Amino acid sequence: MQLVKTLHPPKVKKSSKPIDRGIRNIDSYTHLRGESLYVDDVNVREGTLHAVVFDSNCAHGKIKNIDYSKALDLTGVVSILTSKDVPGENQIGGIFPDEPLFAEGEVHYWGQPMALIVAETKTIAKKARRLIVAEYEELPVITTAKQAKEKGSFISAPRSFNLGDVDGTFAECDYIFEGESFSNGQEHLYIEAQGAYAEPLENGNIRIVSSTQGPTAVQKTTAQVLGLPMHKIEIDVTRLGGGFGGKEDQATPWAVMAALAAQHLNQSVKLILDRHDDLRMTGKRHPYNSTYKIGLSKDLKILAYEVELLQNAGAAADLSPAIAERTLFHATNSYYVPNVKSTVYSCKTNLPPNTAFRGFGGPQGMFVIESAIAQAASELGVLPSAIQEANLLEENQEFSYGQVATKVEAKNSWMSAKEKFQLEQAREKIYEFNSNSPVAKKGLAVMPITFGISFTNTQMNHARALVHIYQDGSIGISTAAVEMGQGVNTKLLQIAADIFSVNGRKVKIESTNTTRVANTSPSAASSTADLNGKALVMACENLLNRLKTIVAQEYKVDEKEVALKDEWVYVAGQKTDITWEQLIFKAMALRVALTENAHYATPIIHFDKSKEKGHPFAYHVYGTAIVTATVDCLRGTYEFDSVKIVHDYGKSMNPGIDLGQVEGALIQGIGWMTLEEIAYAENGRLLSNALSTYKVPDIYSVPKEVEVLPLETDGNDMAILKSKAVGEPPLMYGIGAYFAIQNAMKAFNPNYKMKFHAPMTPEKVLLGLYNQ
């Protein structure tokens, strides 16, 4: 008799118990008590050494000489490692091999790592750093994308997405407007700075605890630099104190350096960047300089849109080409534009390589079309929302990249927001307020968003899950998902608890580890719960079916008659006397495998770069925000009265966590658009290098009222349990803040000419208010 009939039986219906959507973040208890572990909290081996990075204080130059002698003489300094100590390749570039781990011959940005100082304590290592003398022959420094374009300094060839006939259509437009727009970079400011701890094991193996979104990237690059096969390197991640894209690629060098030192010295090495070092050495969101031309008909339809986007990539590719591509994917935001010509240049400058940041280039593209619409509205004397509403994407319309939009919620979310938040009445109240208030003026803006879900690089859309049911009935789950505060571990726990119908306390989400789940994509693109969650569903369902077979055979019934509910076995709807624990005990006795591994790869998606057409996204996320601001027209300061959002969660599997994502992303978006001003000197030195010179949103900059209503929809089957990705899209609601402020300024100064140069800091507001 064959007990287990099929290893991979066909899908069966999930347990009847509805998923527990109300579960709170499983990290909340240890977070609140300060017991959650980060890299700096790992128990280190006795004798662990501490490392500090020596970096360039010249943004572009030939290295003439570096004198390490005084630093090496300092008591407690163990070693200083440079490119000469790299046994493999001195190369960490992710997309292109254009980035050395340690500078060799030349430096390309201020803050570029040149050496690693390893000492008995961090204090000694830092003291040694001040004793190193570097001499450069200085070369011309480029800090802006415009300068780079003029000089022909590029990371990669430009990319263009085209739809229809732009040039021909402009000839037929009733109105044409042209303009310029700039959006600045943004510092990730994850609370946990970059860092890693590397431990040498036997036989030259190395184990690294890293604060990374991409464990496999760390493993692969460490192996390449150390000249080892990947199986000798193990990466372990418990959680991150925030990543926001800043640890998708840029967590790698620190882990590699710690591992290199561990390999050389056969001792554990810890490398944690100080905030100042982190701010100076790591890349940020890409600033973009853009020019646009928008053509409309008399009835405000956008007929043609041409845009050229200059991305300030910094001194090496990092993820810039992929980010540039996503800028094009989102260049028309939530609108259907039948004729589009969009081109992006990835410009090479002497800044730290800029990198992934929540939205991955999408927000930058969306800001430009919103700028174009605002300018058109201002010059035509209509409300921007009249143009926005007239052009919202509808079912079966085509994006410039060839994907045909289905299950579109652009209009739905817009109309819901308009009605539920009484947009017209809100406007009237503002007109009334403004006509009675000489100094304080209010402004309102509506901001629709559309964001594509999937890694734009199709081949990255896969994940695996490894599930063990232990013999006592407790469950251990490993996936590629990295918990960075977004709550993915809680969602994974919900999935397993739901499928097995067990209490969540029976489920443990293991650390993310490359020996348990290999060859992973980073936790990014808002897709972590979708990809890993779908793999987890498959693994759990396979195990569940195996368990059901045991019961079916014992009761001589069809497997369809077997169900698990609240840790009890049911047959034909009747509760049996078998508990979950007893079922697992039986499975052990019958020698049934209680471990399962499953692989998920997003179906349908594809993209042909030679044609720049395809179907890159599993689905899109939609939503609409109404932002209201009050500007103090004596001081130039402002506050946000309210942000009211209708957001497309699909069918949220955890409304509490998802609301937290919307609120956090919104505030981060508002910060980017209004306060956060990255500044570099002409010589390439970061000026906004501390929290005294770089302003991030605090409790006072949070809108007085934030209301988020879920859009009623059927969800999308490509999303995990129909619960749509939520990590990045709501950041773009923050773009509305920029326009709300300008609309208030216009109410004070009718001569104010719209400017599209973010962030809209109080200084810029003040200058604009009195500009004639």
Q: Using CB under 6 A as the criterion, which residues of the chain lie in contact with ligand MTE when the complex forms?
A: 242-245, 358, 484-486, 488, 523-529, 661, 664, 725, 727-728
Please list the alpha-helical segments (H only) found in 9-130.
28-32, 69-73, 122-129
- Of the candidate spans 451-459, 491-499, 681-689, 697-705, the one that interacts with ligand HPA by CB under 6 A turns out to be 451-459
Q: Rule CB under 6 A: is residue 525 a binding residue for ligand MOS?
A: yes
Residue 457 or 474: the one with the smaller Cβ distance to ligand HPA is 457
Site string for ligand HPA, 518-547 (x = CB under 6 A): ------xx----------------------
| Chain position whose Cβ is nearest to ligand MOS | 245
Q: Rule CB under 6 A: is residue 190 a binding residue for ligand HPA?
A: no
Q: Which does 326 bind (CB under 5 to 8 A by kind): ligand MOS, ligand MTE, ligand HPA, none?
A: ligand HPA
Residue 50 or 330: the one with the smaller Cβ distance to ligand HPA is 330
- Of the candidate spans 80-88, 453-461, 488-496, 710-718, the one that interacts with ligand HPA by CB under 6 A turns out to be 453-461
Three-class DSSP category at 695: coil
Residue 80 or 657: the one with the smaller Cβ distance to ligand MOS is 657
Q: Rule CB under 6 A: is residue 524 a binding residue for ligand MOS?
A: yes
Site string for ligand MOS, 346-365 (x = CB under 6 A): ----------xxx-x-----
Q: Residue 357 CB, nearest distance to ligand MOS (Å)?
A: 5
What token pair was written down for 364?
A: 């930058």
Q: Which residue has the tokens 């973009």?
A: 288
Q: Give the distance between the most distant pair of CA atoms in the chain.
A: 90
**DSSP letter string, 257-294:** HHHHHHHHHTS-EEEE--HHHHHHHS--SPPEEEEEEE
Of the candidates 180, 419, 728, 763, the residue annotated as catalytic is: 728
C-alpha to C-alpha distances, 60 to 223, 569, 682, nearest whole angstrom: 29, 69, 12
Q: Rule CB under 6 A: is residue 248 a binding residue for ligand MOS?
A: yes
552 DSSP assignment = H
| CA torsion angle 99 101 107 108 (round to 10) | 30
Q: Rule CB under 6 A: is residue 326 a binding residue for ligand HPA?
A: yes
Which residues touch 582 (CB under 8 Å, ≥6 apart)? none
How are beta strands 595-601 and 606-608 bridged, if at all? unpaired
In whole angstroms, what is the distance from residue 52 CA to residue 750 CA? 54
Residue 363 or 697: the one with the smaller Cβ distance to ligand MOS is 363
Do 763 and 463 contact (CB within 8 A), yes or no? no
For residue 720, the one-letter residue type is I
What token pair was written down for 264?
A: 């050389």
728 is catalytic: yes
Q: Residue 481 CB, nearest distance to ligand MTE (Å)?
A: 7
Q: Which of 68, 109, 399, 455 binds ligand HPA (CB under 6 A)?
A: 455
Of residues 344-403, which lie at the interface with ligand HPA (CB under 6 A)? 356, 360
Strand locations in 325-371, DSSP E? Answer: 339-348
Q: Residue 356 CB, nearest distance to ligand HPA (Å)?
A: 5
Residue 344 or 769: the one with the smaller Cβ distance to ligand HPA is 344
Of residues 702-731, which lie at the interface with ligand MOS (CB under 6 A)? 728
In whole angstroms, what is the distance from residue 562 CA to residue 539 CA? 18
Three-class DSSP category at 351: coil
Site string for ligand HPA, 240-269 (x = CB under 6 A): --------x---------------------
Q: Which does 457 bind (CB under 5 to 8 A by kind): ligand MOS, ligand HPA, ligand MTE, none?
A: ligand HPA
Do 361 and 326 contact (CB within 8 A), yes or no? yes
Q: Which does 493 bind (CB under 5 to 8 A by kind): ligand MTE, ligand MOS, ligand HPA, none?
A: none
- Contacts of 3-8 spanning 24+ positions with Cβ under 8 A: 3/549, 3/550, 3/553, 3/590, 3/592, 4/546, 4/549, 4/550, 4/592, 5/549, 6/545, 7/542, 7/546, 8/542
Q: Rule CB under 6 A: is residue 262 a binding residue for ligand MOS?
A: no
- What is the distance of C-alpha 5 from the center of its chain? 43
Applying CB under 6 A, the residues found at the interface with ligand HPA are 248, 319, 322, 326, 356, 360, 455-457, 460, 524-525
Q: Which residues bind ligand MOS (CB under 6 A)?
A: 213, 245, 248, 356-358, 360, 524-525, 728
What are the catalytic residues?
728
